[in-house]
Amino acid sequence: MTEETPGFEEKPDAPSGATPDDADPKAASPSTEEGAAPAGDVNQTAGLTAQLDQARSALTERTGDLQRLQAEYQNYRRRVERDRVTVKEIAVAGLLTELLPVLDDVGRAREHGELVGGFKSVAESLETVVAKLGLQQFGKEGEPFDPTIHEALMHSYAPDVTETTCVAILQPGYRIGERTIRPARVAVAEPQPGASPAAAKEETTDDEESGGTEEV
């Protein structure tokens, strides 16, 4: 005779490896499957936004680099052009400086009436060529003395000048644009010390007027 323990009931044996959760998997995680799709969309949108921000930042940086490169290139072109013009001016000035003695001889020959025949044609052709290269002659009698463009070789006093004046051009000056390659070599005259020409002229006029009315 078998004795039964009061309060306990026998249950049928469950299959090996089975758990209560395996009995109804759909009922176990309904909320997980329902929330998976919205979370993935949010993460994908956030990733795209981050990539777009990175692309915009990279575009802004590359645009700035391009603008700086373009500005540097423009400055380089201007610097090269300026240097090219300067080198050309220096080369032309060097050549024309060597020709100045020849031009001086041509000028002296013209003053003495010796510029005739074939020599005249050659001299005029030379003057035309150097003029095309930008050589300009300056220096005239009667103009005020300017030490920046004149070189005084002779000095004297004269009663008919009111300031230091070029009274003779011994050698003309030459320039190329604003560059002086040789100053004009001149003789200058200054006013007589002690009295100005205007005062002397006024005194002479007064003497003449008083002499004409004086009774003898």
Question: Could you tell me if 153 and 173 are in contact, meaning their C-beta atoms sit under 8 angstroms apart?
Answer: no
pTM attached to this predicted model? 0.56
What pLDDT was estimated at residue 207? 47
Per-residue pLDDT of the chain (216 residues), as tens digits, is: 444 445 445 555 545 444 444 445 444 444 444 444 456 677 888 888 888 888 888 888 889 889 999 999 999 999 999 999 888 888 988 999 999 999 999 999 998 999 888 899 999 999 999 999 999 999 999 999 999 999 999 999 998 899 999 999 999 999 998 889 999 999 999 998 875 545 545 544 454 454 443 433
Cα separations in angstroms, 30 against 12, 24, 34, 115, 153? 29, 11, 7, 119, 115
What pLDDT was estimated at residue 172? 94
Dihedral sign for Cα 54, 58, 59, 61, please.
positive
Cα separations in angstroms, 23 against 27, 28, 171, 204? 9, 9, 123, 144
What pLDDT was estimated at residue 182? 95
What pLDDT was estimated at residue 165? 95
In this structure, what are the phi and psi dihedrals at residue 6, rounded to the nearest 5 degrees?
-65, 145
What pLDDT was estimated at residue 198? 52
Question: Could you tell me if 158 and 192 are in contact, meaning their C-beta atoms sit under 8 angstroms apart?
Answer: yes
In degrees, rounded to 5, the angle at the alpha carbon of residue 49 between the alpha carbons of residues 46 and 55 is 145
Please name which of 198, 191, 171 lies closest in space to residue 182, comparing C-alpha atoms. 171
As a whole number of angstroms, the distance between CA 10 and CA 135 comes to 130
- Cα distance between the two ends of the chain: 197
What pLDDT was estimated at residue 174? 96
Cα separations in angstroms, 212 against 201, 204, 208, 209? 17, 12, 6, 5
